[in-house]
Amino acid sequence: MAPFPLPLTQLLGHYGAYVVYILIGFGFGYVLESAGFGNSKKLAAQFYFKDMTVLKVMFGAIIVAMLLIFTASGLGWLDYNLIWVNPTYLWPGIVGGLIMGFGFIIGGFCPGTSLVAAATAKLDGVFFVLGVLFGIFLFGETVGLYDEWWNSSYMGRFTLPELFGLPTGVVVLAIIVMALGMFWAAEKLEQRFGDADPNTAPRWRYVAAALIFLGGIVLIILGQPTTTDRWQAIAPEKEATLAERAVQIHPGELLASLKDPKIKVRMLDVRSEADYNLFHILDAQRVAPDDLLALTPELIAEPENTVFVVMSNDETAATEAWKLLVAESVPNVYILEGGVNNWLATFTKDTFGPEYVAVDGRDDQLRYAFTAALGARHAAASPDPHLFDLTYIPKIQLQLKRAPGSGGCG
């Protein structure tokens, strides 16, 4: 597994992690104040093209962070799947961005810079923060009136490489080129409207721009790890786990977990649609193996107490699905021991008709014949745990979720 991002709560404890957050917050605020971003006049000057520091600093931070993140990911140092990316709600996001933009122009601050100004006792910053707090309160009291729209046009963790269907390195380089063009245009605007002297600008900025551009080229060559690459990096450890049968859980443990209010169980059935329609466990979600990769961001975003159980008729397809999910950093993934066939053998007292085994030697086939597609309407789809006296070794252990649960902006 990639060593970053660090699981701070596990390493430092609950309060130790908060100390780190506070130090980062103070450091960020100090940098903003040192750059003059606690002054609303300086911030507002960008809208008159007199001082484009905000654009250059913020966009510069974006492209540097972007380049470092994806380079670290390409080198295997950082697990990008565990970085919080705000989910996209397209139209609410557009409207919210416009509202924040107008507020920035009118008030001269964004939420982060207003806190910096307030911390240095600037009255306009204090009033802006009070306005932000009032706006939060007003939103909380009225969101129920437009809740359906507020949660509309949900696109999940949607990124530019997905939008354009291009490799990550190509998109990163395109954004770098766009940013460098904007920096050049910003300097020309400052000279035109702000009487800036081009001779006072530091010469090292050309070297920095060249290094960032070359970094984008290197990133295209480096690429990003595929699911296969991720699995190969962890295969020795995880293959041993499979061989020890440490993640194959007994049907009885799955049934007990489904009844446990402290655990959220999400069952992923990777069988064919025909077998799923014949019989499946109640609330099991059929996912075609080819669609599993696209589902992983949603699975990673589930609450920390979520356990994922993949199942097929036996274990072959479920094991391949388990490998994919584990490689993509989905936590708490288990395999239903013996698959649906073992579930039926454990919990049914009915006669299904002739039991069959594939004569051509293929495994992972449904070994029970049904006279109709019963789906989850058969009694074995949701058995009563009190009717069965089962003995098994519990294996489910909730792992610490390394992905952050929420995000924000400065």
CATH number for the domain harbouring residue 337: 3.40.250.10
pLDDT at 259 over 80: yes
The pTM assigned to this predicted structure is 0.84
The predicted model gives 238-260 an average pLDDT of: 96
CB 383 within 8 A of CB 281: no
Average pLDDT over the chain, rounded to whole? Answer: 90
pLDDT at 406 over 60: no
Banded pLDDT at 80 (limits 50, 70, 90)? very high
Which has more confidence, 369 or 184? 184
pLDDT at 58 over 70: yes
What does the alpha-carbon distance between residue 367 and residue 313 come to, in Å, rounded to a whole number? 8
The predicted model gives 298-313 an average pLDDT of: 93
CB 270 within 8 A of CB 357: no
Q: What is the DSSP letter of 167?
A: -
At residue 408, the pLDDT reads 47
In a domain, 237, yes or no: yes
In a domain, 382, yes or no: yes
In a domain, 366, yes or no: yes
In a domain, 14, yes or no: no
Q: Tell me the pLDDT tens digit for each residue of 4-53.
A: 888 888 889 889 999 999 999 999 999 899 888 999 999 999 899 999 99
Domain housing 290: 228-387
In a domain, 279, yes or no: yes
H helix count then E strand count, the chain: 16, 7
Looking at the chain, the whole-number percentage of residues with pLDDT higher than 90 is 73
Banded pLDDT at 315 (limits 50, 70, 90)? very high
pLDDT at 347 over 80: yes
In a domain, 334, yes or no: yes
The predicted model gives 67-87 an average pLDDT of: 92
In terms of DSSP bridges, do strands 88-89 and 285-286 run parallel, antiparallel, or are they unpaired?
Answer: unpaired
Q: Is the dihedral of CA 48, 49, 54, 55 positive or negative?
A: positive
In a domain, 60, yes or no: no
pLDDT at 129 over 70: yes
Which has more confidence, 183 or 35? 183
Q: What is the DSSP letter of 332?
A: S
Which has more confidence, 355 or 193? 193
Nearest to 296 by CA among 270, 253, 326: 326
For the chain, how many structural domains are there in total?
A: 1
In a domain, 30, yes or no: no
